[in-house]
Structure 1
């Protein structure tokens, strides 16, 4: 009988953890990261969940750069912003699960 009660408590705790994890992911996903390329000529702001918020291109780069180079700079800045967002999400989840004693990679 005691074992059943423990299992019930474990399941209840797992449900709470799941809710907390979902809330954490939603909150962390709204945090923003910024990345730039070309010495700050192209700047991308993205949400940690992988959504691009803005792309700023300094006007002087347009007149002195060919379109192919500009595309490369935008691509580099977007990729860096998305990478930073993924790392932010990993850090937030790691902080949340640090004291739980879970095996690495479980969540």
Structure 2
């Protein structure tokens, strides 16, 4: 049985990496990521599963004659929070791709 022991070791290593990745994914999903528009006029809180949890808008940004500005600020804040989720996911899980040969 040539290489059988090596195959068992490799499978154990893959299982260990998989378990570590699952743990990291759980940590990501339990983390809140906060994105904000300039001057914190709009703040968006996104969970690690990419769901919007909270949206705070400062009253001074609300101008009925300039709804487009408010919409832009919301988009900026939400996109910043989502980018933080992506960046953290890449940082936490990216280290495993090399170990798995991906």
Task: Spell out structure 1 runs of 4+ moving beyond 6 A.
Answer: none
Aligned residues: CA RMSD? 2.2
TM-score of the pair, normalised by structure 2: 0.82
State the partner residue of 1:74. 74
Q: Distance in 1 between matches of 2:92 and 2:65?
A: 38
Gaps of 5+ in 2: none
Report deviation, 1:62.
Answer: 1.3
Superposition deviation, residue 63 in structure 1: 3.9
State whether residues 45 and 54 of structure 1, in contact with CA within 8 Å, keep that contact through their aligned partners in structure 2. yes
The size of the alignment, in residue pairs, is 102
In structure 1, list runs of 5 or more residues that go unmatched. none
Query: SS of 1:49's equivalent?
Result: coil
Counterpart CA distance in 1 for 2:87 and 2:99 is 21
Query: How far off its partner does 1:97 sit?
Result: 3.2
Q: Per-residue deviation at 1:38?
A: 3.6
Which residue number corresponds to residue 3 of structure 1? 3
What do the CA deviations read for 1:17-58 (whole angstroms, capped 9, x no partner)?
A: 112211211112221221111421101111233121111001
Task: Provide TM-score, normalisation by structure 1.
Answer: 0.79
